[in-house]
Amino acid sequence: MSSPILTFSKVGLAYRGRLSLFTKPNWVLKDISFELLPGETLGVIGRNGAGKSSLLKLLADIITPNTGKIHRKPHIKSQLLSLGLGFNKNLSGIDNALMALVTQGSSIRQAKTLIPIITEFSGLGDTIKEPVGTFSAGQKARLGFATAIHATPDVLLLDEILGVGDKDFKQKSAKALKDKVRSNQTVVLVSHSTQTLKKLCDRILWIENGVIKAIGEAQKILEMYETEAVPT
């Protein structure tokens, strides 16, 4: 078995209220321990407020834990597919795409070769040369998705996103995501859909009330989850 690409060891995450320094911390995640293996698709399930999105932010290195340790293999990059969060509205779609690709580990030369592919996939045409601040929400989503799906992070993090845009683009983006998940890409997928997770995931991490309730083979854990009929 391959060595883990990333390891959580007794990780805890807490938020404090803003009104007082003496406000008790709200522990969103507690004592989280698991390993992420290279090339696997790990599904994350649990009801709203269980801590799933916070877990993705920890995986993306957007936030750091209050307790425990997260160990990443050297030079590992994780990308949270956010469909345009962080775009610079004053820069063109092309420049934003280039910045995103380079940030995720592509060389400038590699990134430039991907621009025609991203332009074609997004369907933006010459609009991609305009400042992102002039884009509609749908155009930003198209650019964000097209860029993210052609980036090559070591770990791709998905939060309930399996298709964006109008009907045709939604079908195209959903297929592209499924192809990415089924490749050798390491993926962590948060979803409420047990059917989606059954189709795409190797293992499932079930979180409830900030702690791991179960982790293991996808079919087995999802059957447990459905048997308990956890409300979503």
Distance CA 170, CA 13 (A): 34
State which amino acid sits at residue 8: F
pLDDT, position 165? 66
What does residue 150 show for φ and ψ, rounded to 5 degrees? -105, 0
**What gap in Å lies between CA 86 and CA 59, rounded to an integer?**
18
CA angle in degrees (0–180, nearest 5) for 43-172-114:
90
**Torsion, Cα of 136, 138, 140, 144 (10° steps):** 180
Q: What is the pLDDT of residue 38?
A: 93
pLDDT of res. 85: 59
Domains and CATH numbers, the chain: 6-76+190-228 (3.40.50.300), 79-186 (3.40.50.300)
Give the H or E element holding residue 117: helix 108-122
- Residue 94: the pLDDT is 97
Spatial distance between the Cα atoms of 43 and 49, rounded to a whole number of angstroms: 16
Q: Which residues contact 46 (CB under 8 A, 6 or more apart)?
A: 52, 206, 207, 208, 213, 230
Tens of pLDDT, residue by residue, the chain (232 residues): 678 999 999 999 998 765 456 667 889 999 999 999 999 999 999 988 889 989 999 999 989 999 999 999 998 888 887 655 578 999 999 999 999 888 877 889 999 999 999 999 999 999 999 999 999 988 988 898 898 888 888 898 888 665 666 788 888 888 888 888 888 889 999 988 898 899 889 999 999 999 999 999 999 999 999 988 545 4
What pLDDT does residue 18 have?
57
Confidence (pLDDT) at 232: 46
pLDDT of residue 111: 94
pLDDT confidence of residue 131:
97
